[in-house]
Structure 1
Amino acid sequence: MDQVFKALSDGTRRRLLDRLHEHSGQTLGELCARIDMSRQSVTQHLAVLEAANLISTVWRGREKLHYLNPVPLHEIQERWIDKFERPRLRALGAVKRRAEEDMTDKPTYVYVTYIQSTPEKVWDALTDADVTAAYWGHNNVSDWRVGSRWEHRRTDGSGIVDVIGDVVESERPTRLVTTWADPADEGEEDKYSRVTFDIRAHGGIVRLTVTHEDLLDESDVAAAASGWSAVLSNLKSLLETGSPLPEEPWAMPVG
């Protein structure tokens, strides 16, 4: 948390976060265009924000895109603000979100975590139906070939499928891209979202970046933030300790 407060103490870094709040997924050039500062200086400020986990980065071809990561700010809000002003601030926040929804494109959520493992093991943990059952409560079922269908099936014996989609890219062990949809919305592609798993060796560990794009609105972003942080924390625990967390994070009460 100290890194977060240090990063937020600088006015330039706060302006960069404001720019990413307005439009997440910007290149260095786009961010520099609105700040009277050299590219090198902006790069240094972005490095501080990334070290504090306030932004996440994703490579798209030769472009490096920068995304706002709201998780640390949410933790500050939960710890120091919500418990004092929760009802009033939530009401104001809801008004603000509704106003912003009409002004923005479909939002994107990015989550980055570091896991003591190998890219191959992380890939298998995301695609092996038995392993996903151990930390996700669902079997991820597919042959994971480009163009194939995949399903997110409950493990309670009901056979219920909660998510469907198609495999868009599949490059073991570094990159997996899939579409996501409620089975009730099958065929309505405007309701599909898209999830990218980028798996990169990072020294002796793995940097896993999950990018969830084409979400319908800010409520979907909040759900993605909560869901991905819980699932990936459970995945990290499984790969590093051999066991998932003692309680399913998504089933635990908040507060």
Structure 2
Amino acid sequence: MNENDITLVFKALAHPVRRRILDHIKHHPSTTGELVSRFPDISRYAVMKHLRTLEDSQLLLSRKEGRSRINYLNVVPLQTVHNRWVSQYEELQSHNLLSLKNQIEGGNQMSGLVHDSFKIEQKINIKGSKEEVFKALTTDISKWWTYSVFDGENTTLTLDAKPGGLFLETNEEGGALWGTVTYVKENEELRLNGLLGMKGAVDSAYSYTLEQDGDYTTLKLSHHAVGLLDPEWHKMHNEGWQELLGDFLKDYVEKGKVRS
């Protein structure tokens, strides 16, 4: 980023409405219409002007989906600013992220990362009540979630289902954070932010919504990610969710099958 780019970032962050927009889309990528509706005391023209300012600073990325335009937070400019004034006094991680970004923009294809976003939507029908499925997604998650950061045995998974609660994996080697809870409505909805195996300048949010349909519960998954992405991550996460929820979670709720 040059001096003009950095100036645009600070200009974008200077207004409280624009900061509120970024706070919202960090957890909930939203259509332009949804963002306008969040500010009933401001004209549509004014909100659109704020969105253009955020786009000019590259803090907001948008993607056309049908007749709607979905807006996402882009964390890279913030990471760049952080790198210039903070990270050199704290740690090297921010510098490494910025170097990676500069290599990509300079045409280094070895990294394989590109500025992009993806959205995964899945629906799974599970025989059981909403209460059973919600309990499996939270209290019993270690009994069916088989993916692990560590190769060693005795890995423990815990999910504290409250705002700010952590989805953690721990064992004798250390620990890893799979997500942070941002919203919870017991037996109905759970939202988290977490990289889920991705690395670097990425903002990732995923949520579960539960609906009762007779003897079955419909579990709706939504996963959004934006930033410097490997083109393979979309496919990998789509297939991973299908296995985790459509096979492992479903088998646990319906058959009591525990994964080792």
TM-score (norm 1): 0.48
Q: For the pair shown, which has the larger CA radius of gyration, 1 or 2?
A: 2
If each structure's strand is expressed as a fraction of its own residues, which one has the higher value? 2
More relative contact order, 1 or 2 (CA 8 Å, 6+ apart) = 2
